[in-house]
Amino acid sequence: MTQGLHLNEVSHHYAEGSNRTTALDRVTMSVLPGEFVAVIGPSGSGKSTFLSIAGALLQASEGKVKLNETDLSSASAKDLSRIRLHEVGFIMQSSNLVPYLNVTEQLLIVKKLSGKVTKDDKAFAAQLLGELGLGGKLTQYPDQLSGGEKQRVAIARAFMNNPQVILADEPTASLDTKRAHEVVSLIAKEVKSRRKAAIMVTHDERMLAYCDKVYRMEDGRLSLSESRSALAEAVR
């Protein structure tokens, strides 16, 4: 069985009136369990479109997308929504926490959406939050947390359903340097220890040192960039 996330010759076109924008142009990428991959590239180059397709939010115009054994390119809307809920964890630029839920409840709501919350779920939420350094904040509300802490809650939430894939879109955009390093190193740690296939879109070259591979997106074309260590060297 093929594990992980596999995109093969994926293209995507947006139609606006008589105009057609090719946002992705024959993109091929494989991410294996335990692999943390970065995608960099200028604004408008297709990064968010790429993540939306990888995360089953959008179906590609052409090409194949496979998550483990499931073919996302031909899945029904119902299957895609199940996959988004159970197999994909999203971490966005802003943490998007629910203001009236405490830290633990932010994670349990994910379980409530897919059924009922068990004792094991509560224990898993507490474990994840502990790993992310939030053990002392379990009953705090979002307005009592710093920006870095909120983003760490969002990371824990992304792992709560034990998804196969973790997708992060500019997760450090609203953080200072120290918090950005904390957040990305924690994502990397969880991705490794829990063996997720993970992709992070970032503008921040300093964060590439935490990734196994770096791809560059330009005008919808994806290419493998220089090795991570060469890049880390270059930004030092």
Ligand X SMILES: Nc1ncnc2c1ncn2[C@@H]1O[C@H](COP(=O)(O)OP(=O)(O)O)[C@@H](O)[C@H]1O
Smallest separation, CB 139 to ligand X (Å): 36
Smallest separation, CB 203 to Mg ion (Å): 10
What is the DSSP-derived secondary structure letter of residue 197?
E
- Which one, of 136, 126, 182, lies nearest residue 159 by Cα? 126
Helix locations, the chain, DSSP H: 47-54, 77-87, 103-113, 119-131, 147-159, 177-193, 228-235
Smallest separation, CB 60 to ligand X (Å): 12
Q: Which is nearer to ligand X, 43 or 76 (CB)?
A: 43
Smallest separation, CB 149 to ligand X (Å): 26
Smallest separation, CB 170 to ligand X (Å): 9
Does 70 interact with Mg ion (rule: CB under 5 A)?
no
The residue range among 11-19, 41-49, 57-65, 68-76 that interacts with Mg ion, by the rule CB under 5 A, is: 41-49
Which does residue 104 bind out of Mg ion, ligand X, none, counting CB within 5 to 8 angstroms by kind? none
Q: Which residues form the interface with ligand X (CB under 6 A)?
A: 14, 16, 21, 23, 41, 43-49
Which does residue 225 bind out of Mg ion, ligand X, none, counting CB within 5 to 8 angstroms by kind? none
Give dist(CA 213, CA 94) in Å, integer: 24
Q: Which is nearer to ligand X, 50 or 159 (CB)?
A: 50
Give dist(CA 166, CA 66) in Å, integer: 15
The total of other beta-carbon atoms located within 10 Å of residue 143's CB is 8
Which does residue 61 bind out of Mg ion, ligand X, none, counting CB within 5 to 8 angstroms by kind? none
Amino acid code (one letter) for 222 = L
Alpha-carbon torsion angle 132, 191, 58, 45, nearest 10: 100
Where on the chain is the footprint of Mg ion (CB under 5 A)?
48
